[in-house]
Structure 1
Amino acid sequence: MRRITAVLTFLALAAVFLQGSFNKVYAAGVVIRNAKDTTKNITALDTARYDSLMKRMANGDKTGRWPVKNAPLPLPGAILPFNRVVAYYGNMYSKNMGVLGEYEPKVMMDKLKTECKVWEKADTLTPVIPALHYICVTAQADAGRNGLHNLRMPFSQIDKVIAMAKTMNALVFLDLQVGFSTVQTEIPKLEKYLLMPNVHLGIDPEFSMKEGSVPGKRIGTFDADDINYVSKYLAGLVRKNNMPPKIFIVHRFTKRMVTNYKDIKLSSEVQLVMDMDGWGGPDLKKGTYKYFIAAEPVQFTGFKLFYKNDIKNGPKRMLTPKEVLALKPSPVYIQYQ
Structure 2
Amino acid sequence: MRLRSVLVTLAAGLAAATCVTAAGPATAHSGPAGSPRGGACSSAVSIESFSDALDKTTYEGTFVGNLSALAVDRDGALVALSDRSSLFTLDPRTLSPRSTVPLADESGAALDSEGLVVDRDGTRLVSSETEPSVRRYGRDGALLDRLPVPDALRVAPAGRATSNQTFEALTLLPGGRTLLAGMEGSLSGDTPGVVRLQSWQRHGGHGGHGGRDFRLAAQYGYRTDTGLGLVETAAAPDGRLLVLERGFTAGVGNTVRLYLADLRHATDTSRVEALTGQDGVRLVRKTLLADLVDCPSLGATAKQPQPNPLLDNIEGMTVTGGSRGALRVLLVSDDNQGTTQTTRFYSLRVRL
TM-score where L is the length of structure 1: 0.33
TM-score where L is the length of structure 2: 0.32
Higher percent of residues as helix: 1
